[in-house]
Every structure is written in structure tokens, then in C-alpha cells.
Chain A
Amino acid sequence: MIWRSVDLRRTALRTLLQLQLNMAASTFCPVLLPLSRINCKLNGIYTLISLNKTAAYSTGLSVKKTGAKTGLPQRGGKELRRQIKQVLQPRTERMAVDQDWTAVYPTAASFKADAVPLPVRMGYPVKKGVPPSKKGNLELLKIPNFLHLTPNAIKKQCEALKPFCTEWPAALDSDEKCEKHFPIQVQKKDYVFAGPSLRHPDARIVTLTVKLSSLNLDDHARKKMIKLSGERYNKDTDTLTITADSCPLKQQNHDYAMYMLTVLYHESWKIEAWEKEKTRADMEEYVWEDSPSQKNILETLLRIRPLSEQQEEGEVREELLGREEVQEYKDSVTKLKNEGETEGNMQQYKEAVKKLLSI
């Protein structure tokens, strides 16, 4: 009587497992359903019923057909003892060298000393000893392991992901082309972290960078734009950076940054009435026309060659200004004032003065 009921139970279990195996094979997921650990109390001994005589665990997605009926473990026989011994051994003893590791660790799982056939040791060594072995080692359990992400596993998973990727357009192969076609750059940040809330306060920040050379600005508009931007303009790289973080949402900050750029642009093109009163002190760079330097040089040259009565002062001025040496002198002074004093600039100034005064 006892045997028959056990037999019925075993067949029922076996059919259930077959169904499970079939399901696992049919769904396109890398996660294997845990199979085959069926505990059954048999004759007062807890045994693991195996579907096939050789292995207690299934390997890979292959469906092993259980053709022959597994024989009942003999009462107290060699067979039973052999099976128990096999099952109580760690799984590593039964692993083949060329097995599919992705089946052993398909997903992230904690370190199992009996499933990893590596002689790993971890922890602080005992006095005059070695680090503790992997059996029952808490340090190995605590640290995240990448056993489910071996190169093979990564390759397989990336192969499966490839159909969802798209190619970069071939026309935009260089940085210059990208800059030419897309001069405005917007930088946004996203965060992945563990915490009580999903939101990160810095995720709303949006930074907009644009080169002023790519905007449609004339001389006056450019200077006004630089003055309006203030600290946000970088002279060395000619970039304007607008950081928007006052709104709670990223999209709002993005819109605000775009709006700021538009406003700056349009305001810089406008010419206000009070802009006429711009003095020499407000100028961004040194301009030689109408400067004391020009007046001085003209006076000096006029004194060298005094005016004759026929010539007009205005005409002489024009003629003097048109001379090559004067132009050179003008360039050297402008360079000195705008770029500061360097060896080259000073040399140039010296040469220009020597030529002008014919020394």
C-alpha cells in the first residue's frame, strides 16, 4: 500500500516537472526556473528524487526525456547509499570543464560555495595561517559577485539586445560636422541610486552651451550679448553657458534656458536710445581712431615736415594717415593695448616707431 501511494505521488510530481521544463524551454527568458529539488520523505529518510539517474540538477534549457522509469531506491541497498552520497557531494564535483556556465548562474545570485568550482579564499588570515576557504565564508556572500556576467554571458545578452539598437547616421562622422549642424548643446543628468525616494534634486538642472560664432550676430549685437551674459560667457572658447535650475522639472528648465537664449539674442539686436552715449571708457577693446595716440603721431609728423601754405590741414591729415608706416604703427599700438605686452608686440612697436621716424 505504501509503495503504491508513493509511486502515484512520484508520477504526479514528474509530470508537473515535465510541464515546468517545457515552459522554461518555450519562454524566451534567460532565467531558469529552479527545478528538480523535490524533497520526499521515503522510508523515514529524506531523499532527493531524481528524474534521471545521473544528475539531481538539470543543465541548460535542454529537456531531458525520462524514457526509462527511474527504479525505486532499494531498501537499504547499495543503490540508495550511492544516490545519497552523490547528492550530498557538492555540485562542483560533477561539473564538466566545458559546461555552460550561464546555466549555473543565469541571474544575479549570492555566492554558493558548492556551485562555484573555484578555490577562492577571502578574509583576514588567521595568525600564521591563510585566508579562510570558501565554505561558509560570509565575506564572499557579502560582496556583490559578477558570476552571472562572464564574457560569454555578456556576449549572449548583447546578441539578444542588438536588434533593438540603431546605427549612427554616416553623414555625421566628424565633430566639426556635428558642431556645424547642431551648434546648441543641452546637457542633462539622470541618477540611479538607492534611497528612500526615486527623485534626485540635481536631476532638474539643464545646462545650455552655444558658440556665439554660430549665432547670427553683427558687431554691435555680439558686443551687447557678451555684456549682457556677463559671467556666463567664456572668451577663450567663445561659448555662452546658460544653467537653468530654478524650475522643479527638467522640461521646464529646458524651456527656460531656450527662452533665455532667445531673449538675449533679441535684446542684443535692439539699439536703445542711451547707447549713443557710449564713451571710450565703455569700449570693450582699444580703437585707434580718435585716440590720443593718433593725435600725438599726427602732431609729431606735422612738426617734422611743417605745413606749406598751399596744403590744407585736413588733406595732410588724410595723406599722413594713409601712409604705410602710420598704418603699421596703428596696428602695433592696437595690438599692445588689446593683447597686452609680449616680446613680439614690443618688437613690432619698436620697428614701427623706427620706420615712422626714419631712424
Chain B
Amino acid sequence: MCWIIFFFKLITVIEEPDTLFQTLTVLVKGHDKAVLDSYEFLASMAAKELGLTLAKVSEPPKNIERLTLLKSVHIFKKHRVQYEMRTHFRCIEISKVTGSTAQVYLEYIQRNLPEGMAMEVTKTPFIYMRSFSNSDVSVFHMLKPDSV
């Protein structure tokens, strides 16, 4: 019985208004394209299951960083060795998400991020009257009366 009570306690509804995100862009970087493909499948399926709108899933061009080093420890300047590091990207853009949903989705995605991959999340939240920072409230007298 105890687990049922535990489950209900997990969801609490707070009076604070939810933030709204216009877009949520997730850019994933990795060295292996196959892993990125699988991760893209995971991210897009998770978005679909949670009911989010996938605006765009794109593959920005890869970035190759090359270095040329001396092959030998001492002298032999004519003999070099070249290394390269390839970074592949995947960009997943989600439009119109609420703060709670975005938090849930991002946490799920980030917990399942494979080793050796990095992520950059770009958020564009809506700024509105009931935000708590003083700077935001002061801005609203500048807008045209019919807009807000």
C-alpha cells in the first residue's frame, strides 16, 4: 500500500504561473554519427509521446578540427602525423512548450544522454506581467496599450 501514497505525493500543483517557452532548441554534439542518430530517435519519440510539437529536426554540418604534429620526439621535421577531431551535430527544435513539460522532457533527455555527447539548450521564455523580477515588470509601460 505504501507505494500508492508515495506515488500521489510526487505530483503537487503550485499556485505559481507556469513559464511558457516559445521555442526550445536542443543542439547535441558528438563524435559518432550512429549514436547521434539513435539519440535523435529517442528525443523525437519522447517528444511525440509527451505530446510536444517538433518544429524542426536538422543536422548542421560537421566540424573537423585537424592538427599536424611532429611524428618523432626529436628532429625529423619532414615526418609528421595528422590527427583530426570530428564533431557531428543534431538540432531538435520544439515550439510552444510549457515550463513544466519542458522541465520533464529536458530531464528525461539529459538523463539518457550517452557518454561522450554534449548538449546545448536554447530557451526563449515569454516575459509577462506576473514574473517576479522587478526588471520585467518595469518594462511593460513601454509597450503599446493594445499589445499586452
* Stretch in B61-69, B80-88, B140-148 with 4+ CB within 8 Å of A: B140-148
Smallest Cβ-Cβ distance to A26: which chain B residue: B3
* Of the residues A162, A180, A188, contact of B50 by C-beta under 8 Å: A162
Contact present for A161 and B108 (CB under 8 Å)? yes
* 23 sampled A-B residue pairs with Cβ under 8 A: A28-B7, A144-B115, A144-B116, A155-B49, A162-B49, A164-B104, A165-B51, A166-B18, A172-B20, A182-B128, A184-B139, A184-B143, A185-B124, A186-B124, A186-B127, A189-B122, A190-B120, A191-B119, A194-B118, A214-B147, A216-B142, A216-B144, A265-B142
What's the tally of chain B residues with a CB closer than 8 Å to chain A? 57
Closest CB of chain A to B106's CB: distance in Å? 8
Query: How far, in whole Å, are A24 and B136 apart by their CA atoms in the complex?
Result: 48
Report chain A residues within 8 Å CB of B11. 163-164
Asked if B110 lies at the interface with its beta carbon under 8 angstroms from chain A, I say yes
Contact present for B3 and A27 (CB under 8 Å)? yes
Report chain B residues within 8 Å CB of A258. 135-136, 138-139
Query: How far, in whole Å, are A194 and B119 apart by their CA atoms in the complex?
Result: 10
Given A187-B122, A191-B119, A255-B133, 13 more pairs with CB closer than 8 A: A143-B34, A143-B35, A144-B115, A155-B49, A157-B108, A158-B49, A159-B49, A164-B104, A165-B50, A168-B98, A169-B20, A186-B125, A187-B124
Q: Contact string, A235-270, partner B, CB cutoff 8 A, digits 1/0?
A: 000000000000000010011001101100100000
Asked if A178 lies at the interface with its beta carbon under 8 angstroms from chain B, I say yes
Smallest Cβ-Cβ distance to B98: which chain A residue: A166
B1-55 contacts to A (CB < 8 Å): 2-3, 6-7, 10-11, 18, 20, 22, 32, 34-35, 38-39, 42, 45-46, 49-51
Contact present for A165 and B101 (CB under 8 Å)? yes
* Of the residues B32, B139, B142, contact of A143 by C-beta under 8 Å: B32
Smallest Cβ-Cβ distance to A216: which chain B residue: B144
Given contacts A143-B35, A166-B101, A180-B147, contact A215 B142 (CB under 8 A): yes
Closest CB of chain A to B56's CB: distance in Å? 14
Question: Residues of B at under 8 Å CB distance from A?
Answer: 2-3, 6-7, 10-11, 18, 20, 22, 32, 34-35, 38-39, 42, 45-46, 49-51, 96-101, 104-105, 108, 110, 112-116, 118-128, 133, 135-136, 138-139, 142-145, 147-148
Contact present for A144 and B114 (CB under 8 Å)? yes
Smallest Cβ-Cβ distance to A167: which chain B residue: B98
Given contacts A166-B101, A185-B22, A189-B120, contact A172 B143 (CB under 8 A): no
Query: How far, in whole Å, are A39 and B96 apart by their CA atoms in the complex?
Result: 55
Top-7 shortest CB links A-B = A158-B49, A144-B114, A258-B135, A193-B118, A182-B126, A165-B101, A192-B119
Report chain A residues within 8 Å CB of B38. 146, 149
Closest CB of chain B to A241's CB: distance in Å? 13
Asked if A73 lies at the interface with its beta carbon under 8 angstroms from chain B, I say no
A131-177 contacts to B (CB < 8 Å): 143-144, 146, 149, 151, 154-155, 157-159, 161-169, 172
Contact present for A154 and B42 (CB under 8 Å)? yes
Q: Contact string, A1-35, partner B, CB cutoff 8 A, digits 1/0?
A: 00000000000000000000000001110000000
Contact present for A262 and B139 (CB under 8 Å)? yes
Report chain B residues within 8 Å CB of A190. 120-121, 123
Contact present for B50 and A158 (CB under 8 Å)? yes
Report chain A residues within 8 Å CB of B124. 185-188
Report chain B residues within 8 Å CB of A162. 49-50
